[in-house]
Amino acid sequence: MGDCRRVGVAVDFSPCSRKALEWAVNNIVRKGDHLILVTVQHEGHYEEGEMQLWEATGSPLIPLIEFMEPHIMKKYGVNPNPETLDIVATASRQKEITVLLKIYWGDAREKICESIDKIPLDCLVIGNRGLGKIKRVIMGSVSTYVVNNATCPVTVVKIHD
């Protein structure tokens, strides 16, 4: 990927991750960058065969043109929403960037941190659902875990109600 920056955005295709993606596109991404969407699926939601090979390492980097195709995403068990696809397609054209998708299977906290080193990413943007203190203690916050364990700068974009 040469000397371009690799800007990662953790996405689960929720309104929260869409807000983080919009923030990254508007505030960080610049011409020539690689915008890499990192998504983590629960284990076992993919077709047999070649997907099993990628369970440990994640999928190959999938170019925007491919992850715009519903039949290709169905193969991976991923269903990107039209709003997210519109954001990245527009950013790709207007900012002249390369958009890629990387899919992992397993625990979101661990796999997002793993993606930082394996891809590797220069920085990561992640959304924060704004869980209350009780829910955060019980469920654990993905963004808090990533901030505390990432090996690159992490920006947390909080969703406002």
Measured in degrees and rounded to the nearest 5, phi and psi for residue 31 equal -45, 130
- Domain membership of residue 15 (yes or no) is yes
- Domain membership of residue 1 (yes or no) is no
Q: Could you tell me which residues are beta bridge partners of residue 9?
A: 37, 125
pLDDT at 51 over 70: no
Distance between CA atoms of residues 90 and 151, nearest Å: 29
Measured in degrees and rounded to the nearest 5, phi and psi for residue 76 equal -90, -5
Q: pLDDT of 90-131, one tens digit each?
A: 999 999 999 999 999 989 999 999 999 999 999 999 998 755
- Domain membership of residue 74 (yes or no) is yes
- Number of structural domains (the chain) is 1
Distance between CA atoms of residues 101 and 90, nearest Å: 16
60-64: average pLDDT: 95
Q: In which band, very low, low, confident or very high, does the pLDDT at 49 lie, cut at 50, 70 and 90?
A: low
**Locus of tokens 């519903």:** 70
- Domain membership of residue 148 (yes or no) is yes
- Domain membership of residue 141 (yes or no) is yes
pTM flag (> 0.85): yes
Per the structure, the complete domain to which residue 36 belongs is given by 6-158
The pLDDT, as a whole number, for residue 145 is: 92
- Domain membership of residue 91 (yes or no) is yes
Of all residues in the chain, the percent with pLDDT exceeding 70 is 83
- Domain membership of residue 14 (yes or no) is yes
Q: pLDDT of 5-19, one tens digit each?
A: 999 999 999 898 999
Are 102 and 78 in contact, with CB atoms under 8 Å apart?
no
Are 105 and 40 in contact, with CB atoms under 8 Å apart?
yes
For 6, the token pair is 């690799």
- Domain membership of residue 133 (yes or no) is yes
What's the CATH code of the domain at 120? 3.40.50.620
